[in-house]
Amino acid sequence: MDQANMPSNDGANNFSIGQGVIFVGWIFAKGKAEISGTVTGQIKVDELVLGASGVISGKISAREMNVLGSANDEIICTEYACIHATGVISGKFIYGDLEIKKGGRVMGLINRRGD
């Protein structure tokens, strides 16, 4: 493979869990996580994109997150969280900045970081 067609290795450590995949355990990574399957456990990433079919139950920590699926239990987003129309947050939710699109739902204990 010539160098022009080589995948870039910028150290971002991006990964995805596809629809229909069930993962139980811990995920700790720098970079972006795209979750469309089911995760039970603990996730700590820089950026989280939870797809419409994605379900996460456990402790979630991210700098930035876009939620189109369902996140449950303890969620900490240090900077910016966007809950899209199909997104649901349930449990303890701590955030930096928050945007909730029409139809998005947040249920449980919700606190702005630093307040």
Number of domains in the chain: 1
Residue with tokens 């699109």: 101
pLDDT in tens, 13-64: 899 999 999 999 999 989 999 999 999 999 999 999 999 999 999 999 999 9
Q: State the DSSP code for 37.
A: S
Residue 68 within a domain: yes
Structural domain boundaries enclosing 55:
15-112
pLDDT at 11 over 80: no
Residue 22 within a domain: yes
Which pLDDT value is given to residue 55? Answer: 98
Residue 5 within a domain: no
Q: Which two tokens stand for residue 100?
A: 């909730």
pLDDT at 5 over 80: no
Residue 6 within a domain: no
Residue 21 within a domain: yes
- Mean pLDDT for the chain overall: 91
Residue pair 12/28 in contact (Cβ under 8 Å)? The answer is no
Neighbouring residues of 105: CB distance < 8 A, sequence distance ≥ 6: 83, 87, 88, 89
Report the predicted TM-score, pTM, of the whole model to 2 decimal places. 0.87
